[in-house]
Amino acid sequence: MMKLLAHSSAATLALALAACGTAETSEPAPSASDAPATEVEENVGFGAVADVETATYSLERTHAFLYIEVGHGGGISNYRVDFLDFDADLAFDAAAPAESQLSVTINPALVQTNYPGDYKAGHADSPYETWDEDISRNERWLNSDAFPEISFTSTDIVRTGEDTGEVKGDLTFLGTTQNITLDVSFGGVANPPWFAGRDVIGFNATTTLLRSDFGMSALIPGITDDVTVSFSGEFLQDEA
């Protein structure tokens, strides 16, 4: 449970107390946006890094978003691919955030684009049933049959501001490992009553990498070499 005394705002304190005082421990609704009504202003995120419990955290997968974007048509628009199956573990050190450790695994077999219409009708010769499957399995794209996991393991963290940092780490993709840097911002800590005192902490992260560094060079530059990776999501403190 985060430290309440760090907060001076009466409204914030009221929310924190309300959250702590609720005995419900039911599983989150699909949305988890069915949070009990509270007498507080909107945007309930609060809490500084130092208020977070030093502990191990796991990705709260119902509130986690990871996607990549490439420039399409020579870069005139951004083409977006969402990852649907990924997980992450975070050992978070509130007193020394730079000592934290993050590991992420991504399943490249489950991706989602926005392809409207009947893929097979326009791609009768394709060995794939859907465009998403093509992105996932085609050797020139994610090649997930040969490389069924993408992974990231942090190697070095630098705190750059009160709520910002750089998380450097080894990204293994298509059999190649490269050290990349994520720009990360800490969003705050929450204590939804159904998690019974366990901290939930939010982060946004982004980075840009060159896919050719990992051997994926199909259709450059019609489709840009630059790939932007974006994440927003929450981590839930592991049960003691």
Partner 1 sequence: MRKLAIGLSALALVLPATGQSLEGVAADIYELEKTHAFLTWSVRHNGISDYIVNFTDFDATLDFDPAAPENAALEVTINPTALETKYPFAEKKVEWENELAFDEKFFNANVFPSITFASTDVTVTGDFTGTVTGDVTFLGVTQPVTLDVEYGGVANPPWFGQRDVIGFTASGTLNRSAFGLDAVMGSTSDEVTITFSGEFLQAE
Binding site for partner 1 (CB under 8 A): 30-38, 40, 42-46, 61-65, 69, 71-80, 82, 84-85, 112, 114-117, 123, 125-126, 128, 131, 134, 187-190, 192, 200-204, 219-223, 232-234
Q: Are 141 and 134 in contact (CB under 8 A)?
A: yes
Nearer to partner 1, 46 or 152 (CB): 46
Q: Which is nearer to partner 1, 67 or 147 (CB)?
A: 67
Q: Cα Rg for the chain, rounded, in angstroms?
A: 20
184 within 8 A of 202, measured Cβ to Cβ: no
- The 10 Å Cβ neighbour count of residue 210 is 15
CA proximity to 207, closest of 225, 181, 187:
181
Q: What's the rounded Cα separation, in Å, for the pair 193 and 83?
A: 29
Q: Enter the tokens of residue 97.
A: 């955030």
Nearer to partner 1, 148 or 175 (CB): 148
In the complex with partner 1, the residue whose CB is nearer, 75 or 175, is 75
Please say which residue, 177 or 204, places its beta carbon nearer to partner 1. Answer: 204
- Distance between CA atoms of 33 and 29, rounded to whole angstroms? 7
User: How near is the Cβ of 31 to partner 1 at its closest, in Å?
Assistant: 6
Whether the CB-CB separation of 39 and 55 falls below 8 Å is answered with no
In the complex, the smallest distance separating the C-beta of residue 146 from partner 1, rounded to whole angstroms, is: 19
Q: How far is the CB of 118 from partner 1 (least distance, A)?
A: 12
Are the C-beta atoms of 238 and 58 separated by less than 8 Å? yes
- Least distance to partner 1, CB of residue 30, Å: 4
Decide whether 73 or 175 has the Cβ nearer to partner 1. Answer: 73
| Minimum distance from residue 9 beta carbon to partner 1 (Å) | 12
Q: How far is the CB of 190 from partner 1 (least distance, A)?
A: 4
